[in-house]
Chains A and B, each alone.
Chain A
Amino acid sequence: MTDTAHKGSIQLSEESRVLPSGEREFMMDVSTADLEVNMGPQHPATHGVMRVLIRTDGELVTGAQPHLGYLHRCAEKIGESVEWLQYLPYTDRYDYLSAMNNNLGYSLAVEALMSVEIPRRATMLRTICAELNRIASHLIAFGTYGLDIGAFTPFFYAFREREWIQSLFEKICGARLTYSYIRIGGVFNDAPPGWLKEIAHFCDVFEEKWKEYYTLLIENHIFVQRTANVGVVPREMAFDFGLTGPMLRGSGVDFDLRRDLPYMIYGEIWDAGAFRIPVARGEKGTLGDCWDRTWVRVVEMMESLGIVRWCLDAIEDGPVIGEIPKVIKVPAGEAYVGIENPRGELGHYVVSDGGKVATRCRVRGPSFTNLAVLEDLLPGTLLADSIAIIGSIDIVVGETDR
């Protein structure tokens, strides 16, 4: 581990040293300074506008300093000036790749302050959409990670399935990326006829494709060589940095909010045995390396199919939104609700003073917390490995910056 007392700017190497005898030693030969390279804000591999200042000695990275804030859109401040329901489209836009889960997190937090009954059909639809969104998000993580490593083709295959999911979402709520579908009190639209059947068909097709993706990229020898034993996050480091989601499970910690602190009907689904939690076992190298994290994401896609199928069997007719007034006035109080986003724990801390507008709407983004390990992981790796590490953290800069 490098010295973690980071100063404001990266310091250059010294040009003279003091020997134990007290004499000063001068470097008489060619002085080679470390190269300071700026990765980003525009870079194909930083998954958004993020800047990482890297100091390298040849190909070896000796220091890294991420600079965020290029995509900061003041979501939390806006939360204090718009009404409760009007804030929902803003929640779509922080982790725009898993917008359903963002909507869900915010709605659950506000519902924790209100006493509104969510109809069962709404909960089922919420679960289906959240899990399909998890699959879509992991498909992007898998595809773009392949792209970072240099495998151009799995990206196209992953996007083919994601297009299908997006068209499914378009049928139910009209939007392909930023849905605002899961609202306070339920969901805003019922499933059109044939939608549930199409999802069942999608599950069957996706199961076959998943096996192809696994063999094509995850088991590919070159991919394994590039990602195994790279960016190892041991268990203690994962705890210390507050990592959650696939980063935590990739380090061998068996914890998933859906099973351990269940929200909505996940407790019921777990008891029915519809899904399992993949926890990395260090199959292809050290436990907690990039391959383990990617493996966790890919296997999670399969498990989400199990949840979706259970919901398709158990769903019944009924209303899709609870009794909420047109203008929502949330009773005074505060609550924190954390859900399992595809990237980790997405937490919303909402404070209300009884009015139409929130007093505080704090968003705890998993990408923001997970990214903090970069300063400690990158030094000591090669430049190509730093790309692999950044990709395996699976960040969305919309969420790091909010």
Chain B
Amino acid sequence: MDFQAIHDHLRARGAPGLIAADEPRAPNKKEKDPGRSGHSFVTVEPGKWIEFLTLCRDDPRLGFELLIDVTATDPKADDPNLWVNAELLSVSHKHRLSIKTLVPKERPVIASATAVYRAAQWHERECAEMFGITFEGHPDPRNMLLPDDWVGHPMRKDYEFPKEYHGISCE
């Protein structure tokens, strides 16, 4: 199914937390719209994250067996939200879906998708340490790539590099 069909099916099934579909559009000078390039994605409420993913996995026409990626983006230093993106892939129907949800920076908490897909476990660990997002219900919230005593969340736009680490200068 292409993106339109997937989105229509999601709406028909009453997918929990589905907000809207965001598709690329050409720039429109009349409406002062700079346009957006790239690929389409759906936006979802963070509170219904797990239910949405479960529907995507279990619905026979959607059939997204694989969770390809869970990642986060910090769009701007003064943006109040972080984006959490998930990529799903269906092997049986050969289609993809990109999902985005917005998580506020003052309270970056979202439910962990580990219960739905085991693949989320390591991806969420990396997200947590890089962006400071807490994934509730994650079975093993250790640092993934950073040392256990690292301070700060490096991928945030307002991250300040430390001056030194254990006596080693980081200049």
Q: Which residues of A come within 8 Å of B, CB atoms?
A: 4-8, 68-69, 72, 74, 76-77, 80, 112-115, 239-244, 248, 253, 255, 260-261, 330-338, 345, 347, 349-354, 359-360, 362, 364, 368-369, 371-372, 401-402
**Given A112-B38, A241-B119, A333-B36, does the pair A359, B139 have CB atoms closer than 8 Å?**
no
Binding site of B, secondary structure by majority: helix, strand, loop or mixed?
loop
Q: Is B45's beta carbon under 8 Å from chain A?
A: no
A-contacting residues, B77-92, CB 8 Å: 85, 87, 89, 91
Q: Which residues of A lie under 8 Å from residue B145 when comparing CB positions?
A: 68-69, 72, 401-402
Q: Which residues of B lie under 8 Å from residue A6 when comparing CB positions?
A: 139-140
Closest to A330 in B: B37
* Cα of A59 to Cα of B37 in the assembled complex, Å: 55
Min CB distance A95 to B, Å, is 16
* Cα of A6 to Cα of B142 in the assembled complex, Å: 10
- Which of B68, B75, B121, B154 is A345 in contact with, Cβ under 8 Å? B68
- Which of B39, B41, B119 is A372 in contact with, Cβ under 8 Å? B119
* Cα of A352 to Cα of B34 in the assembled complex, Å: 13
Q: Is B167's beta carbon under 8 Å from chain A?
A: no
Closest to A260 in B: B94
Interface size on B, residues (CB 8 A): 44
Q: Is B3's beta carbon under 8 Å from chain A?
A: no
**Given A349-B69, A349-B71, A369-B123, does the pair A336, B39 have CB atoms closer than 8 Å?**
yes
* Cα of A244 to Cα of B119 in the assembled complex, Å: 11
Min CB distance A72 to B, Å, is 4
Min CB distance A239 to B, Å, is 4
Min CB distance A251 to B, Å, is 11
* Interface CB pairs A-B, < 8 A, 9: A69-B144, A260-B94, A334-B36, A336-B69, A338-B87, A349-B85, A360-B75, A371-B122, A401-B145
In the complex the two chains form, is B142's CB within 8 Å of A8's CB? yes
Q: Which residues of A lie under 8 Å from residue B154 when comparing CB positions?
A: 74, 77
**Given A244-B66, A349-B85, does the pair A364, B71 have CB atoms closer than 8 Å?**
yes
Q: Which residues of B lie under 8 Å from residue A69 when comparing CB positions?
A: 143-147
* Cα of A330 to Cα of B38 in the assembled complex, Å: 10
In the complex the two chains form, is A333's CB within 8 Å of B24's CB? yes
In the complex the two chains form, is B94's CB within 8 Å of A261's CB? yes
Min CB distance B138 to A, Å, is 11
- Which of B68, B123, B155 is A338 in contact with, Cβ under 8 Å? B68
In the complex the two chains form, is A336's CB within 8 Å of B87's CB? yes
- Which of A242, A336, A350 is B67 in contact with, Cβ under 8 Å? A242
In the complex the two chains form, is A347's CB within 8 Å of B87's CB? yes
* Cα of A331 to Cα of B75 in the assembled complex, Å: 15
Q: Which residues of A lie under 8 Å from residue B66 when comparing CB positions?
A: 239, 242-244
Q: Which residues of A lie under 8 Å from residue B147 when comparing CB positions?
A: 69
In the complex the two chains form, is B146's CB within 8 Å of A372's CB? no
- Which of A8, A360, A364 is B87 in contact with, Cβ under 8 Å? A364
- Which of A244, A332, A359, A401 is B37 in contact with, Cβ under 8 Å? A332
A-contacting residues, B23-49, CB 8 Å: 24, 34-39, 41
Interface centre among B38, B95, B117, B119, by most chain A C-beta atoms within 10 angstroms, is: B38
Q: Is B118's beta carbon under 8 Å from chain A?
A: yes
Min CB distance B150 to A, Å, is 10
Q: Is B73's beta carbon under 8 Å from chain A?
A: yes
In the complex the two chains form, is B87's CB within 8 Å of A112's CB? no
Min CB distance B24 to A, Å, is 6
Closest to A373 in B: B118
Closest to B37 in A: A333
In the complex the two chains form, is B71's CB within 8 Å of A113's CB? no
Further contacts, 6 of them, CB under 8 A, given A72-B145, A345-B68: A68-B145, A240-B118, A240-B119, A333-B35, A335-B39, A351-B73
